[in-house]
Amino acid sequence: MWHTFLDNMLIIVGFFYISFQLNDFGIKKNISSKLQTFIHALLGGVLSIIVMSFPFTYEEMSIDLRSVPIFTISYMYGATFGLICCILPFLFRLFIGGAFVFQGIFLGILSPMLIGSLFHRNRKIRAMNKTIRIQKILFAYFVYTIVKALFMFSLLPLSYKLLFKLIMSMTILSSIAIYCILLLVNNYTNKKLFMKEIEANNQKLTSLSQQHLSTLETLYKKNEELHTATMAKDKFIANISHELKTPLNITMTYIEYLLEEEGPLNDLQKKFLNTAYTNAERLQYLINDLLDLSLLDTMTIKLNYEYINITDFIKIIAQERDFLLKDTPLHINTTVPNRNIFIMADPFRLRQVMDNLLDNAIKFSEEGSIQIILKEEKHHIEIQINDCGIGIPSTKINNIFNPFYQVDHSSKKKYEGAGLGLSIAKKLITACGGNISVTSDVHKGSSFKIIIPFTHSCKETIHEKNIYH
């Protein structure tokens, strides 16, 4: 019996393998799910005929697994396809005939179709696209077994003991067959669903990649447009600065000549000329700042490096500024080491940075002391400029190195300036491999720290940025 049962199982496995291959073929050829299910139903009928042709005996009674494919198809796909599955086994059972032909048709073909269809709930199951819960189908088959047993007790003229043994053996063997079939079906279905999920994820990734590439392309174009606009702006500023410097210098020269020469100028006229010269000088500073900013932004500024005695450098600047403040309540103090310290830097540009920072410290401090502190570290020097001015709000301190930025944007602002000094100072110090930072307390003052390296890395940095030629 077991040998024949194993043969039946091999046949069942083979037929389901063929069903899987046909299902894959149908998917590739875009065959409709209904047609694929129809083919599965016909194959189930063929399988039922084959297992009917290879029965195994128990207590001189023939047993086969014809109900297994019919019940499985009916449970999976419903009554319509269950009836299609029953056609070939029905005709074959009529053909072979026998004493209990109608009982065999009802118990082994029609009743499994009816019970399987009764437990079929999901009308959307088509072509093995959803896994099946094994516990539910085994419970449904157990119900079919009870119904079959009741009919067998009433229809077959056999002893209860023999019928019980027959029913139990058929139930056990059929349950094993169904369990194995469902393992195959679920394994195939899970694999197919997994592949569909991978394909869907690949499509999503492809779509996201295309969107990403499109966004990058848009950003690249915008960046090119912005770069072109920035270059045009820098070129315009450089050109207009050069164009303005020539007539301005001529104007200032004539004003100087008029002020220096003795002539019929009254005090009011001299006052007007002095005012004109002061404002022309302010305009000259602004033009120079615009030109410097343009050169720094385009990385075409030339820095002339030489060794500087930074100790004397700081002392001279402090003395000059302190002299200019002698008639004011402000004064400048310095704290420097008692020995000479040398660094490699552009003295003109470093002086420009110091002047810009001291101008701000003096402008925003009404009285008290401005401290210039020089410190020597292992690889760099630090210059601190501490004022006692109005300070910078914490919400604005991150923006003060931006070009044209001013803490006071009001139309009635108290302090003059174009907002370029700190931006130029930051760019110049950064260009030579250094750094500039600030801390501040409102109404207490601000502290600017400049870090300049000792090594020649500043030259290398400039060279890499195409600034030093």
Q: Please check whether residue 40 is in contact with residue 9, taking contact to mean a CB–CB distance below 8 angstroms.
A: no
Hey, what CATH topology would domain 2-200 get? Answer: Arp2/3 complex 21 kDa subunit ARPC3 (1.10.1760)
Q: Where are the domains of the chain?
A: 2-200, 220-297, 306-464
**Domain 220-297 classification at class level:** mainly alpha
**Rg, the chain, Cα only:** 48
What contacts 115, CB < 8 A, 6 or more positions away? 71, 74, 140, 141, 143, 144, 147
Please state, in angstroms and rounded to a whole number, the distance separating the CA atoms of residues 456 and 380.
11
Query: Would you write out the chain's pLDDT as a tens digit for each of its 469 residues?
Result: 555 566 566 666 667 667 666 666 666 667 777 888 888 888 888 888 887 887 766 666 666 777 888 888 888 888 888 899 899 989 988 888 777 788 888 888 888 898 888 888 654 444 445 556 777 777 887 888 888 777 777 776 667 676 677 677 777 777 777 777 777 777 777 777 777 788 888 888 888 888 998 899 989 998 888 878 777 777 777 677 667 777 877 887 878 777 777 667 777 877 888 888 777 877 777 777 777 777 777 677 788 888 899 999 999 999 988 888 888 898 999 999 999 999 988 898 899 899 889 988 888 888 889 999 999 988 899 999 999 888 888 888 888 888 777 766 554 445 555 678 888 888 888 888 889 999 988 888 899 999 999 864 443 333 333 333 3
The amino acid sitting at 162 is: L
CA dist., res. 207 & res. 209, Å (int)? 5
**What value, to the nearest 5°, has the Cα angle with vertex 111 and ends 108 and 114?**
140
H helix runs in 156-266, sequence order:
160-260
Which numeric CATH code is attached to 306-464?
Answer: 3.30.565.10
d(C-alpha 451, C-alpha 430), whole Å: 9
